[in-house]
């Protein structure tokens, strides 16, 4: 079933120091970033090859932590200057947040170049970033089999042309509900998902925060509820962990479609449910693979009727 030698996963995205305020407390300069969450989540199934940039202030201990999880960090470039920093504050509902500060630092000079042995990657995650850079990474992958990308309101508004050019090159696009409205102009979420599907990707995954996700594809609509966890401490990185669970699983499992993507989404949901239970990566780092499988079984029971 598993064929790690045949398939390999690539991720490009941010590594960050996050300062986060939630109704449950706050944390300063915690290790975060889209590629970090994705990598750690995927590593439970199939550790990825990481492409990213960090500053001279990035502690060796973080680099080592990723390597210990099996992540290939050869594509992690250190530039003089400071690592990307992000500060956000969650509202009481924990589903919405305000970005208080963004300091691009070395991330602003990011020019992703893949190490030679990354170019045969079969599965690719283009984490949230400038669409032209996402395309540049994709140009360097020889024969990608499955490409998933994330985006955000900033690119939908300011880099729309580049984003629209990227969409037909994707298998899947991940969006949250407000981004789907912004991209499609449709108020109704189902119409929005279908409109984005017509822009070129083979499937669209629409995230509804703590309310789960909807998958749009030629097969119609598939819905996945969030795992109902009692403990939501910090939702940061839930989306990237979800993506890491999906692609990590799909890279490691060769079982036939059509159920594969749906199973991947279930694994992604479960990994994300661990991420939100503590600040930053803290809960994921304490998670064992068996816990993921146990929670998946509980989740399966909740969906059976």
Q: Which residues here bind ligand AMP, judged by CB under 6 A?
A: 14, 16, 18, 32-34, 86, 102, 128-129, 236-240
Nearer to ligand AMP, 7 or 283 (CB): 283
Q: Which is nearer to ligand AMP, 172 or 237 (CB)?
A: 237
Q: What angle do CA 142, 71, 123 make, to 5 degrees?
A: 30
φ, ψ of residue 132 to 5 degrees: the values are -65, -35
Smallest gap, in angstroms, from Cβ of residue 192 to ligand AMP? Answer: 19
Sign, Cα dihedral of 81, 125, 37, 287? negative
Ramachandran class of 154: left when φ > 0, alpha when ψ lies in -120 to 50, beta otherwise = alpha
Strands 97-103 and 84-90: antiparallel
CB of 288 to ligand AMP, least distance (A): 22
Q: Which is nearer to ligand AMP, 8 or 179 (CB)?
A: 179
| Rounded distance between C-alpha atoms, residue 49 and residue 119, angstroms | 10
Minimum CB distance to ligand AMP, residue 238 (Å): 6
Supply 305's token pair: 């009727």
Residue closer to ligand AMP (CB basis): 38 or 299: 38
Min dist CB 2 to ligand AMP, Å, is 27
Q: Minimum distance from CB of 105 to ligand AMP (Å)?
A: 12
Residue 266, both tokens = 């279930």
The sign of the torsion formed by the CA atoms of 235, 240, 243, 249 equals negative
What secondary structure does DSSP assign to 195-253, as a single string?
Answer: HHHTTS-SEEEEE-GGG-EEEEETTEEEEEPPP--S--S--TTHHHHHHHHHHHHHHH-
Task: Categorise residue 185: left if φ over 0, alpha if ψ from -120 to 50, beta otherwise.
Answer: left
Nearest distance from C-beta of residue 1 to ligand AMP, angstroms: 29
Give the residue closest to ligand AMP by C-beta.
32
| Both structure tokens of 205 | 């995954």
- Looking at the Cβ atoms of 16 and 196, the one nearer to ligand AMP is 16
> 102 or 189: whose CB is closer to ligand AMP?
102
Smallest distance, ligand AMP to C-beta of residue 104, A = 8
Question: Could you tell me the smallest distance in angstroms from the CB atom of residue 184 to ligand AMP?
Answer: 20
Q: Which residues, other chains included, contact 79 with Cβ-Cβ below 8 Å and sequence gap of 6+?
A: 53, 54, 55, 56, 106, 109
Nearer to ligand AMP by Cβ, of 7 and 107: the residue is 107
Q: Is the Cβ of residue 33 or residue 245 nearer to ligand AMP in the bound state?
A: 33
Q: Residue 52 and residue 78: Cα distance in Å, rounded?
A: 9
């Amino acid at each position: 079933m598993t064929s790690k030698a045949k398939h390999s996963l690539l991720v490009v995205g941010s590594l960050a120091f996050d300062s986060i305020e939630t109704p449950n407390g706050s944390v300063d300069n915690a290790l975060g970033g889209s590629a970090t969450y994705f990598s750690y989540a995927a590593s439970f199934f199939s550790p990825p090859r990481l492409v990213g940039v960090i500053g001279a202030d990035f502690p060796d201990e973080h680099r080592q932590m990723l390597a210990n999880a099996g992540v290939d960090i050869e594509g992690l470039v250190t530039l003089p200057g400071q690592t990307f920093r992000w500060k956000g504050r969650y509202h009481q509902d924990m589903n919405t947040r305000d970005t208080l500060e963004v300091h691009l630092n070395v991330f602003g000079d990011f020019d992703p170049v893949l190490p030679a042995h990354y170019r045969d990657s079969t599965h690719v995650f283009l984490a949230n970033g400038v669409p032209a850079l996402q395309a540049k990474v994709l140009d360097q992958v020889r024969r990608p089999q499955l490409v998933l990308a994330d985006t955000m309101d900033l690119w939908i508004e300011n880099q729309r042309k580049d984003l629209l050019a990227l969409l037909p090159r994707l298998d899947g696009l991940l969006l949250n509900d407000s981004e789907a409205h912004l991209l499609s102009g449709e108020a109704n979420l189902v119409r929005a998902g279908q409109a984005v599907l017509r822009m070129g990707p083979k499937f669209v995954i629409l995230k509804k925060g703590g309310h789960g996700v909807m998958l749009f594809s030629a097969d119609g609509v598939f819905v996945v509820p969030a795992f109902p966890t009692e403990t939501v401490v910090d939702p940061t990185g839930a989306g990237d962990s979800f993506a890491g669970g999906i692609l990590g699983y799909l890279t490691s499992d060769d079982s036939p479609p059509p159920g594969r993507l749906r199973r991947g989404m279930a694994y992604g949901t479960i990994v994300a449910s661990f991420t939100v239970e503590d600040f930053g990566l803290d809960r994921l780092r304490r998670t064992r693979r068996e816990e993921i499988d146990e929670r998946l079984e509980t989740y399966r029971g909740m969906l059976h009727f």
